[in-house]
Structure 1
Amino acid sequence: MADARLVQCLLGTLDHMPNIRTEAEGLLAQMANGPGFGLELAKLVVNRDLPDQTRDGIKQLAAVVLKKFVKEHWQDGSPKFRPPEVSLEEKDAIKSLLPQGLGDPIGRIRTAVGMAISAISEYDWPDKWPELTSMLIGGIRERASIEKVHGSLKCLSLIASDIDEKQMPQVVPVLFPELYGIISTPEAYGKSMQRRALGVLHGCVAALGIMRGVYAKQTRELLAPYLPSFCQTLTQLVRAPTNLSDVTEVSIKLEAFRCLLVATQNFGKLLQGEMGGILAGSWEFYKTAAPMFEALAVYEDCGEDGDVDSDGDELNLEALISQMVEFLLTILGSSRFQHLIKPFGQDLVYTLMQYMQMTTAQEEMWMNDCDQYIADMEDDVMSARVSGEMLLDSMVDEFGSESLQLVWAATYQRLRESAQVKAAGNPAWWKIREAALLALGSVADKVQEAFPGKDMVLGAIDIPGFFDKLLTEDLGEVPTNPLTQAS
């Protein structure tokens, strides 16, 4: 039987009356100071006999409260510790019981359980909880239920980056074939599970990348049998046609780019035979996704409430585009691979301006708050706009004045298109114009470094003349092509 008093307190924290919520929260805080509180929460998480009308909410809330309890009471000396510390007997009981919740039929409960396990792992894993790794991998390999596989993957994705150098040689040969099977055959496992497997793969490769500094030979030998095959599959995922309004499909693309990014950053030598195909697939998505991104995010608001999947993850096109651009930035910064991106330079810059347009969500957020706009543009590296600026800046650093010519040419073309869109009566005509000027501004310091004098003539471009004509256009006259007006 569930602890009725604990259940009532948890329900009270959800009440719409502030006084009831406050009282319930106070009682929970008192109960947390007594023995057995964490274990009672764990029992609720795996309880199958709760009333149907409160079952899901109570189980999820119990897992969330348990995570907070672990942060505050699990280990003396931890940053958020508040006495008393949980006894060893209670810790062992919780660790024995809680993983059962990874097989819950409700996705958000599995996620909450995974987060609670992840909180415990920060203190006990692997030294005090060595069986956790084999238990999670076993949950995937045994396939006792699709829910258990999903929950084990979710939990592994949360802790994968913390697998240490002692565990990795045992984990990789067992886990990676299972991950590959899930990632390469979504028709058998489903897209949601495919995405979770990608998250685990990313965490493991990232952890191996950190170990690479000390164990360079060992990490390369561990990954060499697996990484090329994984990257071929990742390329297929990146290249595949995608419905950008589908949360799960966007998330899969995002995870695939994250995996390619961390593999390229840390193990590029292993990918020399694959990078041509990887970049071709990435470029195909880069070109085809631009008009879809514009339609969904720039002209509409793709962030409306309700754009979530069964696990509660939100649709985030901005993060996907930013991750894709960051991957291209990584290629550009690699002496081994940057020559592969140079032939795409002209189209890359032109299309990048389409991605750098202000989204509807950004427009609404910044409309009445200029300070927020400035702060986001300075600090928000996870945006297509900021990532685009970084990519352009890096292109000029690597390829010099040739890239400056590309930026100027693309800017003029986009400004001309903006004028055409304005003439057609589209109220969002200014967005591509603003993006083009933002892109141009991102390399302004490079222009000044290259041409410090007053007579700033860049090849066939008269820079002062360009800005004179830009001002004229804003005042109502259409400029001629500055590329033909060099002095």
Structure 2
Amino acid sequence: MDQAVFQTLTDTLSADPNARMTAELRLKELQSMSEYPLSLCKLTLTRECNISQRHSAVVLLKSYIDQQWSTKSPKFRGPEPSEEIKAMVRVQILSGLSDPTNRIRSSCAFVVSKIAHMDWPDSWPELFDVLMAHLKTGSTDEVHGSMRVLAEFVSKDITHVQLPRIAPVLFPELHRILVSEQTYSHATRSRCVSIFRSAVDMLYTIKEEHPDAVKEYLSPIFSQWNDAFIAILNKRTTDDPEIEVAEWGLKVDIIKCINLSIQGFPKLTSSYILPVLSTVWQEILYLRPKYLAENIATNGDISGFCFQDSDGDNIGFESLLLVQFEFIQIACRRRKLTQSIFVGQDGHPGILEELVWNALSYMQMTDDQAENWNADPNQFIADEDAESCTRHVRNAAQDVLATLGDYYKSQTLLALNQSIHRDISTSISDKASGKDYWWKAQESSLLAVGLMSEKLCKDIKSGTPSPIDIGALFDHLVLANLSEHSLPFLQGRSFVFASQFAPILPLNLAAQYVSAAVEAILNAPSAVVKVSALKALNNFNSHLDKQYIAPYQRSILQGVVPLVQVTSEETLTLIFRTLTTTAKIDDQVAAEFESILGPVALESWAKYHNDTCMAGETMDFFDTLAANPYMNHMLNNRAIPVLCGAINPDNTDRAVVSAAIQLLRSLIRGGPAPLPTGYVAQFFPSLMAVLLTVDDRDVLQNGQECLKILIQKDVRQVAEWRDVAYGKTGLDLLIQFIAKLLDPSQTESAALFVGDLVSKLIMKGDNLVAPILPDLLRAVTIRLTDAKLPSFIQPMVMVFAQLCLNQHDTVINFLDTVDVRGQNGLQIVLTTWLLNHADFQGLYHQKVSAIALTKVFTSGDPRVAAIQIKGDMILTENSRRTTRSTARKAPNQYTVVSAPVKIVKLLCADLIARIEEENHSGEFDDDESEEDDDDEDEDDESDAEQEQDRKGDNWKSPKNHERSVLLSDVIGENGADYYGGAGGDGGDELEEVDADVLGDPVYQTHMKKFLVDFFRGQLLSPVLVGCFSELNDVEKQTLSGLLEN
């Protein structure tokens, strides 16, 4: 068997493709043989074979472990080897951990880790002891191999269950290796730190459920480890480049561990922050000249070193700088501990001034960046984006400066002013000396001041003296740099800088910069300058009044549209943002370009509808065009035939169907009300054919939103549409679709907006929906019975809340007649409403719910009073100190109160929240942003019953409660109920403002005043008096305070 595997494996490396194919087929046959993994082990460990053969064998062994070792593997295919074979493989592969060839040793360690993940501890209990023996008495190779296994082991396999056995043995050995610098390599010692960091991470993860684990396993040894960390951080080798780079790698892992520890265990690490800050600061100072010489001030002569550690990973001081800058930010946020270091104390200067200057140095563009960004503008945009996932020293230094500005604003601005003067003076000297890199310091200075533009503009507008003379920068730097055509990055930065300060620019000067940016887009030869000018235009559009950009709107559109065809990725995103903002300047001017903008919008939609990044940009662009009243008709004529071709039940690309419905919704929303005659007939048959037959979630959600807008614009045209073949009206199909969504078999996520749709239909349908209104409301009640998602429940409840605003008695009477599997409809709706009211999202919907509840309360209806609801949590010693695990074992208990009492409690909470909002509006205490939350020993709160703070300014698609149909007119004694709900899910995304909401008096209601007036009017009513004894102390004090005032 061994020979067969050896020969077959050798043939897989043959230059003859036929031999390779035959060998690969033979290997598949061998895989099913019981001794196959043993043969692979032997070949891997046979040092007489060449490295290629051995490495191929271990790669095949990895694949075998994945696919055949155990049914626990997600890739398992079988057949599974016997326990006897497994035991032999486990013994043999362990010997590979001492192989002198790093490539083989590392691969064997990976195999051991894979097996351990499935077999330890049950089938391989001795593994940990073997690994520990290697650490204690093994060779350096054996230690290295075992460390690689332990790294995987600790991060993936060890839990709090094994911790009592593992930690007391492992941590001391790791510490011994870490401090034995004469015996072990930097890479091995670095692995110790990495393993320790994984253990710290695990302890942080479990500290809530197992708080004693931290005290038992981490606290006693933490000082020992940190002392070792600080000693290593303070050591610096300067005469041996290879050792110096290896030290950097070790320091990277140490600072990563420190950063994690500070964030996870702030109290435990508080005494170590200052010593670490001191050594990190010294390292930043020391590395600056080296960084500048090798990356910035090279004049094209790059002489930096590049090394790999024993695992083949590249290491260098850039990685060290990244984690050091992260530490600086963490330390800055711990202001109570570190303020004296940053800004000084008792006459001793702090480091902030020099830190800002150093940050500017590290913010300078490297030669590699300039070369790569010149060649690829897309990469330039991606790397320079504030949300970029790519980490470079340049953007890490920006983050440091931004954090300093947040926590030490005045000191940072003063230091920044001094720093830019130093750097600009140096750059002028460098330019005079003929140094090619002179411009980099000016570019980073403008970048740094631009980062502070929001703070500076705010101060200047308020009359606060600015420590930075922005006018001088414009006069002496920016204007001159705009003509530096041979330095595209400096020229481009000047454009962006000017736009960042648009809010405070003199208007004549702002117009000049807008003109220059347009000229750059049209004629600049450099893609970098064009991209920068696009960024600048977006800023100008955001900050300047339209009148100052309007003269250039035609030029911008003419210059930017052609770029769509020649760019891609991030650049295209920027282009569409520019087109979107520019199209909004003057609707009539934009409409002149419909013949080119319309095709671009449709083509980009067809191309990018499934692109995560681009879909949103192209949709925003189309929305803007569709909302243009001078363009909407032309765009409709162009787009509807295209969209109807996509909105087809036979179209299997559901993403295209969903996106097409979104565009149709935009067209309808941008149209007049009522819609032009015959408009609905163009698309309604196709749309309803899809919505009634397709079950795709996104298609159904977008369909609901589209129909809601259609009803709002022209419900009568929908009702008058006829399907001649089947004799159905548009209203019939609409009700059929609603019935589909409300069917219990439909998922809540797919029917998420059905409540909105129903509410809009009731409001706009007038007498058209009167005959079917009872059935609609009954169906909504039935669907609420088992509803789970809050975002689904809210709009369904809003159906009844809206109706209760004007017809609460009729609603109560109707719901009392509804029976759902033995449950009373009034109890279903009111219970769901009261249990979810506190979590309703959106200011308008919160107002509707609260006001409607006052109507239900003042009805004094005994049927409402008879309903029992979950009240306050009963506080016990366990409930005061609960974790997730204890909450599962012993769920919290609650009082039971009547519906009127629950209403009073909810409205009291609303009033208290409104009072607190007014008292704290505009306040900001810097100390609240501190991360000095030394709270790992604090009581844990139960997840189960925490209520989220309501966000009073987040609202989505609000609805009007006014309607001309009275329930009492259409619901008899045995009336029915089917359909309901207005209200969005309160998401954070920007949604268009519903015109019906803006005209609703509820939207304008001052809730604090309303609730105060309500309670004062009810303080002596029998209903409220009867509730008073069941209120808690805070609620009683609130109501008593209203009575006293």
Q: The TM-score by the shorter chain falls in which range? A: 0.7 to 0.9
Q: Which residue of 1 aligns with 2:2?
A: 3
Mapped to 2, the partners of 1:250 and 1:373 lie a distance apart of: 28
SS in structure 1 opposite 2:446?
Answer: helix
Q: What is the CA-CA distance between 1:26 and the residue it aligns to?
A: 5.5
Mapped to 2, the partners of 1:276 and 1:147 lie a distance apart of: 37
Residues 1:271 and 2:269 are matched in the alignment? yes
Matched residue type, 1:207: M
* Superposed CA offset, 1:294-334 (max 9, x none): 22344365777x73244322233322211111122222233
Q: Which residue of 2 aligns with 1:83?
A: 77
Q: Which residue of 1 aligns with 2:467?
A: 460
Mapped to 2, the partners of 1:302 and 1:209 lie a distance apart of: 42
Is the contact between residue 103 and residue 148 of structure 1 (CA under 8 Å) also seen in structure 2? Answer: yes
* Superposed CA offset, 1:250-288 (max 9, x none): 211212212222222222322333322221111111111
Is the contact between residue 308 and residue 315 of structure 1 (CA under 8 Å) also seen in structure 2? Answer: yes
Q: Which residue of 2 aligns with 1:159?
A: 153
Match of 1:169 among 152, 164, 169: 164
Q: Which residue of 2 aligns with 1:290?
A: 288
- Equivalences for 1:37-436 in 2 at 5 Å? 37-48=36-47, 50-51=48-49, 54=50, 56-76=51-71, 78-79=73-74, 81=75, 83-89=77-83, 90-141=85-136, 143-162=137-156, 163-243=158-238, 245-246=241-242, 247-298=245-296, 299=298, 301=302, 307-334=307-334, 337-339=337-339, 341-342=341-342, 343-377=350-384, 378-436=387-445
Higher relative contact order (CA closer than 8 Å, sequence separation 6+): 1
Q: What is the CA-CA distance between 1:140 and the residue it aligns to?
A: 0.3
Is the contact between residue 257 and residue 327 of structure 1 (CA under 8 Å) also seen in structure 2? Answer: yes
Matched residue type, 2:98: G
Matched residue type, 2:271: G
Matched residue type, 1:198: V
- Against the structure 1 CA distance between its residues 149 and 352, is the aligned structure 2 distance closer, same or farther, given a 3 Å change threshold? same
Q: What is the CA-CA distance between 1:439 and the residue it aligns to?
A: 3.3
Mapped to 2, the partners of 1:40 and 1:303 lie a distance apart of: 46
Q: What is the CA-CA distance between 1:112 and the residue it aligns to?
A: 1.5
Matched residue type, 1:99: L
Matched residue type, 1:44: L
Q: What is the CA-CA distance between 1:368 and the residue it aligns to?
A: 0.6
Mapped to 2, the partners of 1:16 and 1:251 lie a distance apart of: 40
- Against the structure 1 CA distance between its residues 77 and 140, is the aligned structure 2 distance closer, same or farther, given a 3 Å change threshold? closer
- Against the structure 1 CA distance between its residues 457 and 157, is the aligned structure 2 distance closer, same or farther, given a 3 Å change threshold? same
Mapped to 2, the partners of 1:156 and 1:169 lie a distance apart of: 16
Q: What is the CA-CA distance between 1:360 and the residue it aligns to?
A: 3.8
Q: What is the CA-CA distance between 1:371 and the residue it aligns to?
A: 0.7
Matched residue type, 1:159: F
Any stretches of 5+ residues in structure 1 without a counterpart? 478-486
Q: What is the CA-CA distance between 1:165 and the residue it aligns to?
A: 0.9
SS in structure 2 opposite 1:213?
Answer: coil
Matched residue type, 1:200: I
Mapped to 2, the partners of 1:277 and 1:381 lie a distance apart of: 30
Mapped to 2, the partners of 1:301 and 1:19 lie a distance apart of: 47
- Against the structure 1 CA distance between its residues 302 and 249, is the aligned structure 2 distance closer, same or farther, given a 3 Å change threshold? farther
Matched residue type, 1:365: N
- Against the structure 1 CA distance between its residues 284 and 84, is the aligned structure 2 distance closer, same or farther, given a 3 Å change threshold? same
Mapped to 1, the partners of 2:155 and 2:428 lie a distance apart of: 49
Mapped to 2, the partners of 1:99 and 1:303 lie a distance apart of: 39
Q: What is the CA-CA distance between 1:103 and the residue it aligns to?
A: 0.8
**Identity percentage of aligned residues:** 29
Greater shift after overlay, 129-138 or 281-290?
A: 129-138
Is the contact between residue 236 and residue 247 of structure 2 (CA under 8 Å) also seen in structure 1? Answer: no
Mapped to 2, the partners of 1:365 and 1:4 lie a distance apart of: 51
Matched residue type, 1:430: W
Mapped to 1, the partners of 2:317 and 2:172 lie a distance apart of: 30
Q: What is the CA-CA distance between 1:17 and the residue it aligns to?
A: 6.5
- Against the structure 1 CA distance between its residues 129 and 431, is the aligned structure 2 distance closer, same or farther, given a 3 Å change threshold? farther
Mapped to 2, the partners of 1:250 and 1:20 lie a distance apart of: 47
- Against the structure 1 CA distance between its residues 228 and 467, is the aligned structure 2 distance closer, same or farther, given a 3 Å change threshold? farther
Greater shift after overlay, 349-358 or 4-13?
A: 4-13
Greater shift after overlay, 221-230 or 406-415?
A: 406-415
- Against the structure 1 CA distance between its residues 462 and 173, is the aligned structure 2 distance closer, same or farther, given a 3 Å change threshold? same
Matched residue type, 2:325: V
Matched residue type, 1:327: F
Q: What is the CA-CA distance between 1:381 and the residue it aligns to?
A: 4.8
- Against the structure 1 CA distance between its residues 307 and 208, is the aligned structure 2 distance closer, same or farther, given a 3 Å change threshold? same
Matched residue type, 2:284: Y
Mapped to 1, the partners of 2:252 and 2:261 lie a distance apart of: 14
- Against the structure 1 CA distance between its residues 6 and 281, is the aligned structure 2 distance closer, same or farther, given a 3 Å change threshold? same
Mapped to 2, the partners of 1:68 and 1:102 lie a distance apart of: 19
Is the contact between residue 431 and residue 438 of structure 2 (CA under 8 Å) also seen in structure 1? Answer: yes
Mapped to 2, the partners of 1:11 and 1:303 lie a distance apart of: 41
Greater shift after overlay, 233-242 or 308-317?
A: 308-317
- Against the structure 1 CA distance between its residues 469 and 17, is the aligned structure 2 distance closer, same or farther, given a 3 Å change threshold? farther
Mapped to 1, the partners of 2:18 and 2:472 lie a distance apart of: 67
**TM-score normalised by the chain length of structure 1:** 0.84
Matched residue type, 2:323: Q
Mapped to 1, the partners of 2:440 and 2:177 lie a distance apart of: 41
- Against the structure 1 CA distance between its residues 437 and 167, is the aligned structure 2 distance closer, same or farther, given a 3 Å change threshold? farther
Is the contact between residue 301 and residue 359 of structure 1 (CA under 8 Å) also seen in structure 2? Answer: no
| Structure number, greater radius of gyration | 2
Match of 1:442 among 446, 451, 462: 451
